[in-house]
């Protein structure tokens, strides 16, 4: 049986990350939806973190409160494993899957340190996309398809993210065109 109350919390955003030509961009729309109602159109679901002086960009889809709990834990993991996003992401995913409290959190993260791009999920997955494009959220598949279609054109990772999110917003009713973008250069 589908839990309608919890499935509603998954609607309301699209996050995309793209690695191309020495930079990594993570972008997200600003729509927050509860059921079929738009609550807010200007939410910021892409953020820059600087634990221990390391620049990290993170985008999240799902429950906002759950995502912020995960962001706090990710920051702690990055302080425990300074400069090692891969290890911090794996440790967060392990905790997320095995901890009684964390396992109920409903969110997905896309994270990057400028070198690596990962999707972190509550099922214990830390996924590194093979083609340098990651997308999550209700419009994630639309944005992913659009980004793949234009990836080989002579535009930046930032432009790919903008175009992909605008296309997703035209198709997904839970995605809007108020886009927040963060970009890091590879180190």
Positions annotated as catalytic residues are 13
- Alpha carbon distance 186, 184 (integer Å): 7
Q: Hey, what are 12's tokens?
A: 């309301």
Residue pair 179/16 in contact (Cβ under 8 Å)? The answer is no
Residue pair 137/102 in contact (Cβ under 8 Å)? The answer is no
Q: Is 83 left (phi over 0), alpha (psi -120 to 50) or beta?
A: left
137 three-class SS: strand
**Backbone angles phi and psi of 151, in degrees to 5:** -55, -40
Neighbours of 18 (CB within 10 A): 30
Residue pair 128/109 in contact (Cβ under 8 Å)? The answer is no
């Amino acid at each position: 049986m589908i839990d309608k109350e919890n499935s509603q919390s998954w609607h309301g955003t699209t996050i995309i990350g793209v690695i191309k030509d020495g930079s990594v961009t993570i972008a997200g729309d600003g729509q927050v939806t509860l059921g079929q109602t738009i609550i807010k159109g200007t939410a910021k679901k892409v953020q820059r973190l600087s634990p221990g002086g390391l620049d990290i960009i993170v985008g999240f889809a799902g429950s906002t409160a759950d995502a912020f709990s995960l962001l706090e834990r990710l920051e702690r993991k990055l302080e425990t494993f300074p400069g090692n996003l891969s290890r911090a992401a794996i440790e967060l995913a392990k905790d997320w899957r095995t901890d009684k409290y964390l396992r109920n959190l409903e969110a997905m993260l896309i994270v990057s340190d400028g070198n690596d791009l990962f999707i972190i999920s509550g099922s214990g997955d830390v996924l590194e996309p093979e083609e340098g494009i990651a997308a999550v959220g209700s419009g994630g598949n639309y944005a992913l398809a659009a980004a793949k279609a234009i990836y080989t054109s002579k535009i930046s990772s930032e432009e790919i993210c903008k175009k992909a999110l605008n296309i997703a917003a035209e198709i997904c009713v839970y995605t809007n065109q108020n886009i927040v973008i963060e970009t890091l250069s590879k180190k």
